[in-house]
Amino acid sequence: MVDLKISSTLIAVLVATTVVSGASLASSSSSQIGGKAQPAAGHAKPSAGHASAKSHAAPSSPKAHWGYSGAEGPAKWGDLSPAYELCKTGNQQSPVDISDTQRASMAALKVDYKATPLHVVNNGHTIQVNYGKGSVLRLGHSEYQLLQFHFHSPSENTAGGKPYDMEVHFVHKDQNGHLGVLGVFMKKGLHNVALGKIWAHLPTKAHGEMKVKDVVINGRDLLPDNHDYYRFVGSLTTPPCSEGVQWHVMKTPIEVSGGQIQAFLDIVGKNARPVQKLGHRLMIDSAHGAGASGSGASH
């Protein structure tokens, strides 16, 4: 870990990266991220059975089809469609390993998530909870609307070279269409009550959005108490692998039970893209305020 006084140079680099890489993102990513508007077109065949939810057999649009193993696995994504080219040519790809961090005084994350009716989707790649309007994440002067959150197992980002059991990604968009993802690691431990409310309604087969009657959840309940975070620029971790995504990963994991992890794996299977090269990107360790805990990049 390198201690780094925040400097105007560092800020300039961060800002420049944000502006440049964010510009090309909005249009290409809408179908993947805007799950609410277009829930994973081509991957949510209601007739798809359990097996095809994992292997994506019988594709309706072969070019767009992808998965997590074999001929449609992560190493092949960039060849599956011209639209996915960044998956192999990009140089700011996600996920990444978080280990060589640089401490800098950063603005605190201000999470203002409201309760929302449970609208859950099994899109064949993950379990996703679509979010109603009005929940925001604030970062300095930026304000991001929460669109959806979804899960990976094992975690996609890793810390000190090791994955956690799971990771939840809260996907946001600002008013200019720039995406911001907040990642929270999940490790095996106590039963998670908030997750249990969602898991009680897990769609076992790939399906369109399911509106669960009379169940209200709040994404806030899946955050750790300590909001210290790592920050870096990256991409979507699924095709089309669009870059310019502002990533924030909380240092502190939340706990979920072994049974909860297994319930996800039984339905979705492993769905983590391998870590990508960090390259010249900065990995910032937020160090705001006094008593910022140093849980560090190890576990």
- Active-site residues, by number, are 125, 150, 152, 156, 169, 237
State in angstroms the smallest separation of the CB of 175 from Zn ion. Answer: 22
Task: Of 104, 121, 87, 144, give the one whose Cα is nearest residue 203.
Answer: 121
Nearest position to Zn ion, beta carbon: 169
Contacts of 165 (CB under 8 A, 6+ apart): 153, 154, 155, 186, 187, 188, 256, 261
Task: CB nearer to Zn ion: give 167 or 228.
Answer: 167
- For the chain, give percent helix, strand, coil, nearest 5: 25, 30, 45
State in angstroms the smallest separation of the CB of 11 from Zn ion. Answer: 28
State in angstroms the smallest separation of the CB of 89 from Zn ion. Answer: 21
Token pair for 114:
């409201």
Task: CB nearer to Zn ion: give 45 or 169.
Answer: 169
Task: CB nearer to Zn ion: give 169 or 173.
Answer: 169
- Cα angle 118, 122, 124; round to 5: 165
State in angstroms the smallest separation of the CB of 26 from Zn ion. Answer: 18
Cα–Cα dist 222/254, whole Å: 7
Residues paired with residue 148 on neighbouring β-strands, in sequence order:
130, 171
Cα–Cα dist 229/288, whole Å: 10
Task: CB nearer to Zn ion: give 43 or 169.
Answer: 169
- Burial class, 175, CB count within 10 angstroms (exposed 0-12 / middle 13-18 / buried 19+): exposed
State in angstroms the smallest separation of the CB of 293 from Zn ion. Answer: 25
List residues near Zn ion by CB under 5 A: 169
Task: CB nearer to Zn ion: give 56 or 169.
Answer: 169
